[in-house]
Structure 1
């Protein structure tokens, strides 16, 4: 075998030498002002990253060696949902994500699921102990995740399902029978406009409320599922998912039940479901949504998500349709089967840039988390409106960047097609819906960046 002498033919170049050469080529222009960019998270992006400046790389615990292609299926009729699910699996879907607003025929659903998929996720917009008990029994030996998250329901809807005490009692009861019960939805914070540091810190404070409650009552929490929305800042989104796993490991280690474990054992399994954000999706020039969701899925994969649920390019304004679902499914199949995104575990390890961003995101999020805890914790700050206010401030900053074209969505605020017509194509209402109701707290509202601009365009369509 011939020895590779490529690297021995070149002398190593230090980071100092790189910077001196760059400074010379700038011909007097400021290095910092010209080449260093700044993010909404307060992180400076340098023009290059070098091993001279690289610190010790931190392990990312729990990163999966395999990721699953999943698909959303809304249940109104159990038979119809099962038929759709069987078709999805036959077409390449590996896991199913069921959503329901009301109870359905559980027996019929499982009886009609002739194709095998694993795992099965359930997000139910109601909290009924008897229904969940039956669901666990009917599932048998299937791998299921129940995704119960009362705090998310409070944050998004402004109210508990029942009340704080009853919601936690039901959660505790179900946890005794099903390990994959608890979920923490960080998707809400991203889609409402929180920056990445806030998403991580709020997710950490969110799960800490559950862990404190569980420790007080000696309730076991063997597994936590995190639902995460992934945006278009490619490398930062990779780093965000890596930082999330690191932060959760640090938090869990502070609890007594984790400290008593032998070295190398994990107290709680962290499972991440990632999906593209809705925040940057548009109804005009909608085909660009395919490009956005592709890079966002790539970030989720490289960041170490367990399951990816893609978003059809026309989901904002179209009802479910075979073509949109097929395209979104095939995007993930191509990434897995043709681009070999499933061939390497931890592909981001040792990347100076991503490692540096991961470290900074984790440090800033941990500092914000500690501040939240000093101020009384996540639930207290939700009740006071502090979390809502901070997210709103971040969203307004990002909205101003979009309005001024500092943040660009092609086809919408940059290079729009004046001949594009959408008024007659809207099968769904694509904007924020208001639901007047009495709430305990101000709900956190998801909002797309392009909504106001699209509403104005719709008014002027001929």
Structure 2
């Protein structure tokens, strides 16, 4: 049918809608009743209308190309190869290898993968120039797409110390950006900020300021910088967050003459995951993965429902992978590029988050830059303040986690299930700066429940 049936109806303006809403409110105040304010200071309206909409540039994302990725911790190279190939045979489309030892035979590891057409991510827990150069040589000889997730500034923020020291780490970044032309070598671990409790504006601004430090250190970067982003529960805001990050990244990169797009790997946040009623974690990760895809992530790594208390296991990994397979092949999330373009609500959220984040970014740069604010503790303090506000909402029951602070199952016992310590670990040691600490909202409440459990059955 070629006729547009809506032409038979008179257009309705936003003013007319608001007048009708006011009538339906029967005297209640429109602003107080229907407009709410997010932690970022964004007032969310009940109605977004085309006559108040400023057309935005297309996001330029490709949801049809997003990869289902799975993480594998490399302890034994041969076992990791077997597991990687099994994972690929079961639907994964890319692999992230977490490598903590510089004596790992990375060539054998990479050669063992059945297909060299898939992207491979190497998350290194160390900084060794020769090791990264070996990876670059392998990529050149085998025509493999490899992203090395190397982030010395993220190491400092997370651990409190550099890999070696500031001068040596940043010199290594500059050296590798010049010599490694076949792989992407730089990453920004933006997920740290979300998992520690930063609000969305802070997450975007800190990510950009973090990136900007690398642009200043290595102005000859010729490959995409990989951004590791954690996605929270605020569905539409998280879609807008990823769009805003990509939009502002382009603005800053252009100032340095840096052409490649950023490459975004998204994973669900740890912050709202719970020990009790853990199956609800599957619902949380599903919506968070949806936000990641619609927001334009290039790869999505889902979190297993039991990741906070169980060691990595085949069942948890399979369920996490299958959630993404259902979204891709049964919910058709890969059929439309830029699916959020033209949504008045998401476009407005993207604009407001971008404007606020850019203002904060400029403030950081005017105050000496991201590294300077890390060293003087400003970034840590601001994140702690945002986390404390969110924690207070959770403690008061205004921020709801089903099965934990709302409708808890008192028969649910977890003491005998713990394979991993699910809480913040305190390890007194000497650090250059105060590290940014990741912490889940439910930790204190879960500690109290665990302390009250009978452990004689364990």
- Counterparts of 1:91 and 1:117, CA distance in 2: 16
- Secondary structure in 2 matching 1:412: coil
Match of 1:264 in 2: none
Aligned residues: 449
Aligned-pair distance for 1:356?
Answer: 0.3
Segments of 5+ residues of structure 1 without an aligned counterpart are 259-266
- Secondary structure in 2 matching 1:113: coil
- Secondary structure in 1 matching 2:78: helix
- Counterparts of 1:379 and 1:47, CA distance in 2: 40
- CA RMSD between the two structures: 1.3
1:344 and 2:343 matched: no
- Counterparts of 2:369 and 2:12, CA distance in 1: 48
CA contact (8 A) 2:227 2:265 kept: yes
Aligned-pair distance for 1:314?
Answer: 0.6
Aligned-pair distance for 1:61?
Answer: 4.2
Match of 2:17 in 1: 18
Q: CA offsets, 1:390-442, max 9 Å, x none?
A: 00000000000110111000000000000000000011111111222211110
1:209 and 2:213 matched: yes
TM-score when normalising by structure 1: 0.95
1:224 and 2:225 matched: yes
1:113 and 2:113 matched: yes
- Secondary structure in 1 matching 2:50: coil
Aligned-pair distance for 1:116?
Answer: 4.8
Deviates more, 1:36-45 or 1:219-228: 219-228
Deviates more, 1:134-143 or 1:88-97: 134-143
- Secondary structure in 2 matching 1:380: helix
Q: CA offsets, 1:199-233, max 9 Å, x none?
A: 00001111111111223xxx334311111000010
Match of 1:58 in 2: 57
Match of 1:380 in 2: 372
CA contact (8 A) 1:106 1:138 kept: no
Match of 1:39 in 2: 38
1:100 and 2:68 matched: no
- Secondary structure in 2 matching 1:52: helix
CA contact (8 A) 1:223 1:268 kept: yes
CA contact (8 A) 1:214 1:221 kept: no
Aligned-pair distance for 1:63?
Answer: 4.5
Segments of 5+ residues of structure 2 without an aligned counterpart are none
Match of 2:135 in 1: 135
Match of 1:356 in 2: 348
Matches within 5 A, 1:198-277: 198-215=202-219, 219-255=220-256, 257=257, 267-277=259-269
Q: CA offsets, 1:260-284, max 9 Å, x none?
A: xxxxxxx122110000001000010
- Counterparts of 2:223 and 2:279, CA distance in 1: 41
Deviates more, 1:6-15 or 1:107-116: 107-116
> Which residue, out of 416, 430, 433, partners 2:422?
430
Match of 1:74 in 2: 73
- Counterparts of 1:161 and 1:313, CA distance in 2: 32
CA contact (8 A) 1:62 1:269 kept: no
> Which residue, out of 406, 412, 425, partners 1:414?
406
Deviates more, 1:294-303 or 1:20-29: 20-29
CA contact (8 A) 1:297 1:332 kept: yes
- Secondary structure in 1 matching 2:225: strand
Aligned-pair distance for 1:56?
Answer: 2.3
- Counterparts of 1:401 and 1:53, CA distance in 2: 33
Aligned-pair distance for 1:184?
Answer: 1.1
Q: CA offsets, 1:314-368, max 9 Å, x none?
A: 1111111111111100000011011100000000000000000000000000000
- Secondary structure in 1 matching 2:184: coil
- Counterparts of 1:65 and 1:169, CA distance in 2: 38
